[in-house]
Amino acid sequence: MSATKTKFTNPSRVALAITVLLCFFSSRNYADDQAFNPSMVLIGTSLAIYEQQGLSFGNQLVPAVDTDLVVAPIDSKAAYFNVTGEPNLAVTASIVERKISITNGQAGKKNKMDVTDFTLGGSVDASGNGSFDNQGLLDNVRVGATTTIASDNNLGVYQGTATLRVVYN
């Protein structure tokens, strides 16, 4: 089979050129219609957490039987914090530890109590969700918890440390 040479006339060449240009421009416009712009918000401000009051179970007598003490986030003895960050952004607060021990500085079981069941409230909901205001303030993040005073706990001032974590959503 031999190939035959095709001869284009001037009107054919013009039509072919117009067809190629139309395809080029139509595909280009079509691609532009499908374009998208990924976006990202870079947060330029770090968070700062300021403890206003520590959690306190108050002054207690050693009970005759083991007794649970519960401090709810709405109680005056709950810990509370102010947090600063990026205005109008949502955050989640949480207590890192599930359980901590408070001690009176002495060794032994009779010199410690476990603190559990941390609860959140105030300017965050029970799940820890909240938002900074338009000035970047989230004030009154409140933390409550439960401890058990054993009937054989020794007298003393019991202290410990828990960690409040606040992260941007």
Residue 31 lies in a domain: no
pLDDT(110) > 60: yes
Q: What CATH number has the domain bearing residue 59?
A: 2.60.40
As a three-state string, the secondary structure of the chain is CCCCCCCCCHHHHHHHHHHHHHHHHHHHHHHHHCCCCCCCCCCCCCCEEEEEECCCCCCCCCCCCCEEEEECCCCCCCEEEEEECCCCCEEEEEECCCCEEEECCCCCHHHEEEEEEEEEEECCCCCCEEECCCCCEEEEEEEEEEEEECCCCCCCCCECCCCEEEEEC
What is the share, in percent, of the chain residues with pLDDT greater than 90? 60
pLDDT of residue 33: 45
Enter the pTM of the model.
Answer: 0.72
Structural domain boundaries, residue 98: 48-168
Residue 42 lies in a domain: no
